Copies of this chain bind each other. A is one copy, B any other.
Amino acid sequence: MTVRFRSDMVVELVKHSAADADVVLAARVSTQGARAGAATDAQKDAGLIGYLMRDRHGSPFEHSVFTFYVEAPIFVWREHMRHRIASYNEESGRYKVLEPVFYLPGADRNLVQTGKPGAYEFVPGTPDQYRRLVERSTRVCEVAYAAYRESLDDGLAREVARMDLPVRLYSAAFVTMNARALMNFLSLRVKSDAATFPSFPQREIELVAEAYEREFARLMPVTHAAFVRGGRVAP
């Protein structure tokens, strides 16, 4: 069996219950009590959302929820699952035979780290460094996946056989997060010079976060704009 390599992350919006208007409705329950009507004033709404973001009233953003289907390597999932205000269903190596699909950094991925702890920077590697990386990783994945297959063919349980697979193996999952948790994710997993609190995510989880952010900006443009304007601080 041939191993396959990819450099992309798959992020598809499966469904959502997310809208700027819902933030406004939820906030108005606090200040107006009875369920506010639908007729609203776009400028006033934007002002209210900006105020909520600035003063860190985060709860009105929790009623907007996104469900994504994501394919990413295991080492990305390991970071992703540290976000506990979220719901996950990930592909399981105990229940199915895992496909030989592995992540390889794209040629444009910065490979070399400079600086010191707490202030790393990443810069490009040379073409030779990249070539050697690809050679090594290809070899590792071939040996590892061959061992996995041999274990299965030898009658071993899937959960035992999978132990040989590297963390660059792709895995798929459903991820559901509300807009507040999503903004927290974005504040930590996207690098931005405009951020009040700088963050230094690994590039691969940043790819996932960037795709999340595109959907977020599309479905909740006013909230997203307020988030960016406020220095990407999750309320």
A residues apposed to B, CB below 8 Å = 12, 14-17, 22, 25-27, 29-35, 51, 55-56, 59-60, 62-63, 65, 67, 69, 73-75, 77-78, 81-82, 84-85, 87-96, 98-99, 103, 105, 109-113, 117-118, 122, 125, 129, 132-133, 136-137, 139-141, 143-144, 147, 150-151, 154-160, 162-168, 171-174, 176, 178, 188, 197-199, 202, 233
Contact = CB atoms under 8 A, between A and B. Distances in A.
B51 A172 contact: no
Given A56-B197, A59-B87, A89-B59, A69 B35 contact: yes
A204 to B, nearest CB: 9
B147 A139 contact: yes
A131 B50 CA distance: 40
Q: Among A14, A89, A98, A143, which residue has the most Cβ atoms of chain B within 10 A?
A: A89
Contacts of A112: 155-157
Among all A-B residue pairs, the 3 with the closest Cβ atoms: A62-B87, A113-B157, A17-B17
Contacts of A73: 163
Contacts of A139: 143, 147
A30 B197 contact: no
Contacts of A33: 91, 96, 98-99, 171-172
Contact of A176 (B62, B172, B173): B62
Contacts of A99: 33
Contact of A82 (B56, B81, B158, B166): B81
